[in-house]
Amino acid sequence: MEENVFLRDRKEYRLADYMQIQEKGRENLGAELPVAVYRLLEYSLREELTERFGKEEQIRIFRDAGYRAGVYFAQKYLDSSLELSEFMALLQKRLEEFKIGVLRIEKFEEDTGEAILTMSEDADCSGLPLLGETVCNYDEGFLSGILTSYTGKSYTATEVNCWATGDRVCRFRADRKE
């Protein structure tokens, strides 16, 4: 194929670049999509990745992608200069604005950094049938990315309850690595 001169020296686009491009691209349809579209993307991708690479790798990819999203989200929509309670309040507000879910903080130990967070009406799994396993691996990464970005210390969030394990909220335990 002949080289397209307009593509020569094209820079490598990153997540943040693609996020800017979407800001004014949909004058008529607007910025919102039904949850069904989000799940169509998420669960088709999950199925494809699982078939190609196996379940463990699929989970790792979702977590790592969620982590990238969390770091981006924290830098773009949150304010890391806020003290903890204000930061968490802003996070709750943003997650509701973006209709990602309703966040509650059950526990946040400031000295150890250990936290228990719940998300109700979660975009990824609310209404799913009982599957016997947690499915919100993307959210695990997303919360890890946000908390790591805010604290500057490495965080791991693990989902312990989920709609898919028969609960009505997703509950995440977040631990800080010293």
Positions touching Zn ion (CB under 5 A) are: 125, 136, 162, 170
**Nearest one of 39, 65, 71, 75 to 137, comparing CA atoms:** 65
Residue number of the CB closest to Zn ion reads 162
Q: What's the min distance (Å) between Cβ of 154 and Zn ion? A: 23
First-to-last C-alpha distance (Å) of the chain: 52
The helix (run of H) or strand (run of E) holding residue 72 is: helix 55-77
For residue 38, give every residue at least 6 positions away whose Cβ sits within 8 Å of its Cβ, in sequence order, or none.
123
Q: What's the min distance (Å) between Cβ of 102 and Zn ion? A: 13
In terms of CB distance, is 71 or 170 closer to Zn ion?
170
Q: What's the min distance (Å) between Cβ of 125 and Zn ion? A: 4
For residue 15, give every residue at least 6 positions away whose Cβ sits within 8 Å of its Cβ, in sequence order, or none.
68, 69, 72
In terms of CB distance, is 136 or 174 closer to Zn ion?
136
How far is residue 171's CA from residue 169's CA, in Å, rounded to a whole number? 6
In terms of CB distance, is 61 or 162 closer to Zn ion?
162
> For residue 64, is it left (φ>0), alpha (ψ between -120 and 50) or beta?
alpha
In terms of CB distance, is 50 or 75 closer to Zn ion?
50
How far is residue 90's CA from residue 86's CA, in Å, rounded to a whole number? 6
In terms of CB distance, is 125 or 157 closer to Zn ion?
125
Q: What's the min distance (Å) between Cβ of 139 and Zn ion? A: 7
Q: What's the min distance (Å) between Cβ of 171 and Zn ion? A: 8
Tell me the residue type at 47.
Answer: E
